[in-house]
Structure 1
Amino acid sequence: MPASAEPPILLEARALSFSRQDEPVFGPVDFALRAGEIALVEGDNGSGKTTLLRVLTGMLRAGEGEVLLDGLRFSLDTMAGAVVFLGHHLGLKFDLSARENLRVSAGLYGLRADADADAALADTGLAGFEDEPVRRLSAGQKKRAALARLLILPARVWLLDEPYANLDRDGIALVNRLLDDHANRGGAALVTSHGAVSFAGGEPRRIRLHA
């Protein structure tokens, strides 16, 4: 790629909007998320930040507009394994151990090259808790187990809804480091947060939602 060329667009929203019972929730919103970019979704309570991420994952159908992934119109086929969502519900099976949860996720969505479940759990502070049933972990440890999943999946686009919730200061620093590493590998992330966000790569771009 020439030095002057911009990084490729991984995820794009065009005139995207969503309504619930004929009442607008957000939009229209336009943005392009490029490789190596972290963007922060902002808006007042009820402005549709979580709803936007759910629309981008296909969990909710947009009222108007379209979503493109790597230049292709969004579908469950185009996003399979390419996008990972982390929300308030962590997507963990509580009767399985943290290690078993990662194996299930890898079986469903693939494994990133050179990724290792135990190394990911150690990296997120869960060394020694690999075989503990998730239901016995603290809220912060559950969040760390969900973050470990980000490290093993091949998804280039991360959609993170309040990833700092239930984490202490070290956990917040961990999320920022994971985001920096992901961006440096050519990935991109869209993040919602009520707290302070800081990345080594600089101030994130901000996307403001309005109804």
Structure 2
Amino acid sequence: MQSFASLTISDLWIERAERDLCKGLSFSVQSGDVVRILGENGAGKSSLLKVIVGALSPEEGRIAYSGEDVTLDRSILQQDALYIGHSVGVKQRLSVAENIRWYCPDVCTNVLHEALKSLELIDYMDTPVKKLSAGQTRRVALARLWLSQKTLWLLDEPFASLDVKGVELLEERIQQHALAGGMVILTSHQNLLSLASRDVMLLP
């Protein structure tokens, strides 16, 4: 993880299906920040994260990462970013442990076990994901947050399907990451996160 990192979004214009999702959007994030993107369904929250990570292209605007202009080439940012979309993206036939190793093939057994304990999944490590509840399945998808050394986390509706305990675990992990100098940008239409540094509102 970088000792200090920053992300600056300047005058961003995102258009989809001939509709402006945002225009002239500017905000910045630096080490220790948790920024929450708010908005109703269809307001463009997911598109914004995809533009930041380079999966989509904006109409206009500039994106800088730690002082480097990455508007045309996100490779520097992508090396240091972890993006988790709204879809859980887990393999239903694989066990919990197999899914995590699929995402993180180099993780050692001790670290894997510690992550599973933190997520309260250790008793299910050999259980196929298809036998888990929706909340447990979501925890499997989020396990990368307990294993990643990436500085910038881009999380699309990470609290979806989580129960109260799951929300508490995730908020604690996000706080730990920020305190360690990480940066988090997450989308939500729910007022769940109490530790956000600030909110960015997108209007539908």
CA contact 1:9–1:32 (8 Å) conserved in 2: no
Instruction: Find the residue that maps to 1:119 and give its secondary structure.
Output: helix
CA contact 1:93–1:101 (8 Å) conserved in 2: yes
Count of matched residue positions in the alignment of Structure 1 and Structure 2: 200
Instruction: Find the residue that maps to 1:150 and give its secondary structure.
Output: helix
Read off the aligned partner of 2:102 and give its amino acid letter: V
1:125 Cα deviation after fit? 1.3
Read off the aligned partner of 1:206 and give its amino acid letter: D
1:4 maps to what in 2?
Answer: none
1:61 Cα deviation after fit? 1.3
Q: How far does the alpha carbon of each residue in 1:21-49 deviate from its partner, in whole angstroms, 9 at most, with x for none?
A: 33211122111111011111122432211
Instruction: Find the residue that maps to 1:167 and give its secondary structure.
Output: coil
Instruction: Find the residue that maps to 2:93 and give its secondary structure.
Output: coil
1:143 aligns with 2:141: no
Instruction: Supply the distance in 1 between the matched residues of 2:59 and 2:20 (Cα, whole angstroms).
Output: 9
TM-score normalised by length of structure 1: 0.84
Moved more, 121-130 or 86-95: 86-95
1:192 Cα deviation after fit? 1.6
1:26 maps to what in 2?
Answer: 22
Q: Structure 1 101/10 Cα, relative in aligned 2: closer, same or farther at 3 Å?
A: farther
Instruction: Report 1:172-211 matches (<5 A).
Output: 172-199=167-194, 202-210=195-203
Measured on the aligned residues, the alpha-carbon RMSD in Å equals 2.4
Q: Structure 1 15/8 Cα, relative in aligned 2: closer, same or farther at 3 Å?
A: farther
1:96 aligns with 2:94: yes
2:165 maps to what in 1?
Answer: 170
CA contact 1:81–1:154 (8 Å) conserved in 2: no
2:12 aligned to which of 7, 10, 16:
16
Kindly indicate whether structure 1 or structure 2 has the higher relative contact order, using CA contacts under 8 Å at least 6 residues apart: 2
Instruction: Supply the distance in 2 between the matched residues of 1:91 and 1:30 (Cα, whole angstroms).
Output: 30
Instruction: Supply the distance in 2 between the matched residues of 1:105 and 1:142 (Cα, whole angstroms).
Output: 14
Moved more, 55-64 or 95-104: 95-104
Instruction: Report 1:8-157 matches (<5 A).
Output: 8-74=4-70, 75-107=73-105, 116-157=111-152
Q: How far does the alpha carbon of each residue in 1:164-186 deviate from its partner, in whole angstroms, 9 at most, with x for none?
A: 11111111111110111111111
**Sequence identity of aligned pairs in percent?**
32
